[in-house]
Amino acid sequence: MKLIPNWRDVLRKAWSVRFMVLAFIFTIAEVAFPALGVGIFPPGLFALISGFFTAAAFVARTIAQKGITNADQ
């Protein structure tokens, strides 16, 4: 494996990366809120939201985005 030449641009600008970060945050919240005794959210809500952002990241990864050049060309 090797990094693409514009990996820094991809990490800063790609919507797929942003969606993956949001999915990660909601995955942590799914575990952290019950562990901290915060039970105001229904069980599974954060897992559902995390799943949505994971699916959005998958779709965003396949769509060309302005401001990010294709490293293969």
Q: How many domains does the chain have?
A: 1
In a domain, 3, yes or no: no
Task: Please determine, for residue 4, whether its predicted confidence score (pLDDT) is greater than 80.
Answer: yes
- Residue recorded with tokens 């105001």: 40
Give the residue numbers spanning the domain of 38: 8-61
Q: Looking at residue 18, what is its pLDDT? A: 96
In terms of Cα–Cα distance, which of 7, 9, 22 is closest to 54?
22
In a domain, 17, yes or no: yes
In terms of Cα–Cα distance, which of 3, 6, 22, 30 is closest to 60?
22
Show the tokens assigned to 4. 């693409």
**Model pLDDT for residues 9-63, shown as the tens digit of each residue:** 889 999 999 999 999 999 999 999 988 888 888 989 999 999 999 999 999 999 8
CA distance 36 to 15: 31
In a domain, 73, yes or no: no
In a domain, 70, yes or no: no
In a domain, 37, yes or no: yes
In a domain, 42, yes or no: yes
In a domain, 48, yes or no: yes
In a domain, 71, yes or no: no
